[in-house]
Amino acid sequence: MKNRWLLAIASIWLAAHPARADLVAHFQNKTQADVRIDRLPALIVAAGQSPTPFLDAGPFQVAWRGKLVLPKRLRLMFSCEGGGMLELKINDEVVLTQSGVFDGKPTKPLRLNPGEHKIEISYSSRDDGSAELRLLWEEAGMVRQVIPAKSFIVSDPAEATPHEQSRRGRQLFAQHQCGKCHTASDAFGKSPMPELFEFAPILQGLGERVRAEWLHQWLLDPHGLRPDTQMPALLPEDRPTRVQDASDLVAHFLQAVKNEETPPAVADAKLIQNGGLVFHELGCVACHQRPEETQHDGQRIPLHQTAAKFLPQALIAYLEQPERHHPFTQMPNFNLTAEEAQSLAAYLLSASAEPTIKPIPPGDAARGAVLAQSLQCGVCHPGSPMSPADLPAKMEAIFQKDWSAGGCVAPPAQRGKSPVLNLTDDDRAALVKFSQAGKASLGRDQPAEYVRRQVQERRCIGCHDDSGMASGLDRWHSESDDLTAHDGNLKKRVLQTRPALDFTGEILYTSAIESIIAGKNQVRPRPWLGMRMPVFRYAAPLLAEGFSNNHGLAKNRPEAFTLDQEKVSIGDALANSKGFGCNTCHAVGELPPTAAFEVQGVNFNLTKERIREPFYHRWMDDPQNVRPGTKMPRYAVGNQSQRTDVLSGDARAQYDAIWHYLNSIARE
């Protein structure tokens, strides 16, 4: 029992010490090598799939190296699931070897003192190149569980730096749509990088959405208006006709649109106040600075140009459906009600800077159409003018060149007539490094790496903690506190814990993750919260698979479950007020929780379609070990339940009975 408490203390200590939760992973096949930073020593690779974008498909080896960090002395047993060949070393001592189908049997207890322990996990795929691995640990009386990512730290991250730089360059190549101008002569492969097929906003009907003055300024200085934009500066300052060119382009894109809409003379104060509340409750400051802020903080997207850019009704329509004209937008769909969208638009328009109406030279739409074609606007913006015959060199050709010596990636002095991309010096170095690896990696992607990129690109850590790294909302949410002064009950709702990303693929079925990200759930798991999970429809299938893959799990969904009616009856009794009182916080179908606490639990009738059974048992065994600070109580220590009168006090048997009960509840 003592060691049991020590493990709980260890998990809390690790959560309070947000060191980088990573290992350095060295991949190797017969002719290629790659190194990357991994959160977990976990892997799932199908036969014929590349283990990383920089390796061909086929047999491979990988070695994860770093340190295992423990704050207290523990007696741990290690095991693994999957198949292939594995050797686990701790402090240079081999403690576990497995080959073929891993049997999951634990090692003998290994006493480890507090502090850092050198760890190396060496793994070889099956002969057909397929791979599956999950590494677990346990103590006597403790449910076996995947080692949390917070337990690992990198020994020497510099080992991965050149390879991670190539990965960053590869990501930038796709983000900046380089493959749209430099088209490939052949197909990328059976698993191309999904970002290669994204495109910029559709510009048809643009005049119904944005103001002419803002569009003119955008064309002249996109990087100044939005510091993180991937829009190139097509009218650089050394272009003599740039101001008139911008006017001609405005005339072309806004032609046949009156663009005369103006905001109401007097804004509705109540509507603005409600919009500020929505802004705070959604946690908008996790990704955006407040609209009053005119100085960019270098981390979030500024909003001070909102009134200058959007026509009022267009802003409301955008907030209701951001993907309408841009399916690949970073701005997610929050499924706002019409009232929420109207109030949020009112707040943003009233709080952002007043539009500065600068006279722009009269433009010629015909000249603008010719210019749009010469600038190849249609390459990135579907439906806009372009000239395929005038596209620059093919992709194969540019990978034979030195990107630092000329072209889009080169420093300004060597760029020539190429478009001015929004790149830092570090970005240029990453792109050059990627170019040296060749284009083959563009056709070898995998969901596990895709989700790692998208967690960054979609700013998921804005709202969610991840492996000990605090969310941006924890840092910035107080900036919008003043917008809630008129609602004294709001904070009780907002401060409820948002799920950390650490265990996503382990907690939820892939099908459940996809439903959440795609916004398919007809019932929200936490409907009492104003804050809600945003929707990224197009990316949902790959993101869901990637979250599962990062835990060494293939795509999965609920399977048929055979109920034991005796266990169902026992579990029902244990879950109600005469047992553990689970229904105090959790609704059961249409039956609400029995106590009106400010913190509720997810409705029990959602369990069987969401939660994987292995994680359920890990969670029930010790919730604090999974999520320090959770309101979920612990009902047993050392498998000795508080309810000694049921199933001889065997906690695991009791939890199994509750699992049968949860799977018996019909979805309303």
SS (H, E, C) 374-436: HCCHHHHCCCCCCCHHHCCCCHHHHCCCCCCCCCCCCCHHHHCCCCECCCCHHHHHHHHHHHH
Percentage of residues in the chain having pLDDT higher than 90: 75
Cβ–Cβ < 8 Å for 485, 359: no
The pLDDT value given to residue 90: 97
Highest mean pLDDT among 225-229, 555-559, 597-601, 664-668: 555-559
Predicted pLDDT of residue 210: 94
Closest-CA residue to 349 (of 382, 383, 303): 303
Question: What pLDDT shows up at residue 13?
Answer: 32
For 176-200, what is the mean pLDDT? Answer: 91
Q: Is the pLDDT of residue 3 over 50?
A: no
Q: pLDDT of 538-548, one tens digit each?
A: 999 999 999 99
Residues 6+ apart with CB under 8 A from 269: none
Output the CA torsion sign for 556, 561, 567, 572: positive
**Where, residue-wise, is CATH 3.90.182.10 in the chain?**
2-155
The confidence band for 10, taking pLDDT boundaries of 50, 70 and 90, is: very low
Exposed, middle or buried by CB within 10 Å (0-12, 13-18, 19+), for 102? buried
CATH code for 565-664? 1.10.760.10
The pLDDT assigned to 528 comes to 75
The listed range with the strongest mean pLDDT (17-26, 483-492, 551-560) is: 551-560
Q: Which CATH class is domain 206-351?
A: mainly alpha
pLDDT tens digit string along 465-522? 887 788 999 999 999 999 988 876 665 555 556 888 989 999 999 999 999 999 998 7
From the number of C-beta atoms within 10 Å of its C-beta (0-12, 13-18, 19+), residue 413 rates as exposed
Mean pLDDT over 184-203 rounds to 91
- Say what the pLDDT of residue 539 is: 92
Determine the residue type at 262.
T
Mean pLDDT within 68-89 = 94
> CB of 402 within 8 A of CB of 388?
no
- Among 416, 426, 403, 429, residue whose Cα is nearest residue 182: 403
The mean of the pLDDT values for the chain is: 90
Whether 262 has a pLDDT exceeding 60, the answer reads no
* Residues 90, 152: Cα–Cα separation, whole Å: 12
Q: Where in the chain is the domain with CATH 1.10.760.10?
A: 206-351, 565-664
| Structure confidence at residue 142 (pLDDT) | 77
Cα 325 from Cα 315, distance rounded (Å):
12
Q: In which residue are the tokens 């060191």 written?
A: 19
Return the H-helix or E-strand segment holding 164: helix 161-175
Q: What is the pLDDT of residue 4?
A: 38
User: Which of 104-108, 122-126, 142-146, 354-358 ranks highest by mean pLDDT?
Assistant: 122-126
This prediction's pTM: 0.91
Convert the pLDDT of each residue in 571-594 to its tens digit. Answer: 999 999 889 999 998 989 888 888
Q: Which CATH class is domain 2-155?
A: alpha beta
d(CA 666, CA 668): 6
Least reliable range by pLDDT among 77-91, 104-118, 247-261, 313-327: 247-261
**pLDDT value of residue 470:** 86
The predicted pLDDT at position 8 comes to 38
For 603-662, what is each residue's pLDDT tens digit?
Answer: 999 999 999 999 999 999 989 888 888 888 999 988 899 999 999 999 999 999 999 999
